[in-house]
Amino acid sequence: MVVSGILPLAKPAGMTSHDCVLLARRWFKTREVGHTGTLDPDVEGVLPLCIGRATKLVPILMESSKVYEGTMALGSTTTTEDASGEVISRARVPGEIPEEQLQRVFNSLVGDIQQVPPMYSAVKVNGKRLYEYARAGEAVERPLRSVTVHALRRSGETSWSPDGEHLCIPFSVVCSKGTYVRTLAVEAGERLGYPAHLSQLKRTESAGIERPRCTSIAEMERRANAGDAEQALLSVEYVLRHCQHYEVSHREAEKIKNGAVLRTGDYPHAERLVFTHDDRALAIYVPHPRKEGMIKPEVMLSPESGQ
């Protein structure tokens, strides 16, 4: 039986997302592994990995919002916009930031915004990643990126760093894919009137999967050695639980497995409709772009389908 599902992995700091993909290929003995959005090596947290036929869900799951918990350090900026870079600007923060001022700045960053990606990032310009330009000391114009910040708020008490040079402000953010939380911290600092960087970050939710559902690498190694790695997988149906589901008959299931175009009026209206049979997902259907009143397959999930 082919292994298929979503592994809710807790990525530790110090590993790349690709490192985790390589591990999962070994755990599940398949090359069909894909992640749903990279995490910087210094960032820990939720990294859903799609295994087997579930890799077809990667584009859909990548669209989902992400939730992060971080700490903004007011007092200095760095080359990388986080604690790993070299300090390039300092300024003394004379005291605590009034709550009203802080929330006003956070609110100003909520909504559809544009960001300039950090030089130390994997964004490609002219076929070359920005961090490659940065390491070579080359200047390059960075493209603006449109992202959405759904919510941004202080999540704990502010405190001073041990050296007294940084005011540390914990925050939580709900944002779209492609958002650089490092840059968000720098922008918030600028609007407060101080240089800033991101001193700590972890992702607490991705693809609708929260941190408590995740499995550690140590636990996965134990499971793989015991031969029950598959037990750690979440089902496709669970990960798609926020979509409209519709259970079909055996006759309808056969049509869906063959990728039939269907009439909208025969089924519930939904942006994405997950057809199931015996509570197993067969396919995800969406409105047909050219045929009004019809729906077509977006993703075929049944192992018996021709796609």
**Which CATH number goes with the domain that contains 175?**
3.30.2350.10
Which of 40, 42, 278, 279 is catalytic? The answer is: 40
In terms of domains, do 145 and 222 share one? no
Element housing 160 (H / E): strand 159-160
Rounded-to-10 torsion of CA 129, 133, 135, 137:
-170
Instruction: Judge whether 82 counts as a catalytic residue.
Output: no
- pLDDT score, position 304: 64
pLDDT beyond 90 at 118: no
Residue 162, pLDDT score: 93
CATH number for the domain that contains residue 254 = 2.30.130.10
pLDDT of 307 strictly over 80:
no
Indicate whether 254 and 295 sit together in one domain: yes
* Angle subtended at Cα 13 by Cα 213 and Cα 125, rounded to the nearest 5 degrees: 105
Indicate whether 280 pLDDT > 80.
yes
- Domain check: are 172 and 225 in the same one? no
Residue 305 within a domain? no
The predicted structure's pLDDT at residue 1: 54
For residue 124, name the pLDDT band (cuts at 50, 70, 90): confident
Mean pLDDT of 179-205: 96
Residues 194 and 216 in one domain: no
Q: Tell me how many domains the chain contains.
A: 3
Check whether residue 249 and residue 265 sit in a common domain: yes
50-51-54-60 Cα dihedral, nearest 10 degrees: 10
Checking if the pLDDT of 83 tops 60, the result is yes
**Which are the contacts of 270, defined by CB distance < 8 A and separation ≥ 6?**
243, 244
CA distance 199 to 169: 10
Could you list the residue range(s) of the whole structural domain that residue 139 is in? 66-201
Residue 307, domain member (yes or no): no
**Whether 86 and 170 share a structural domain:** yes
Predicted local distance difference test score (pLDDT) of residue 305: 58
Mean pLDDT across the chain, nearest whole number? 93
Where a domain ends, among 238, 255, 284? 238
- 3-state class of 145 per DSSP? strand
β-strands 294-300, 128-129 pairing: unpaired
The pLDDT of residue 31 is 94
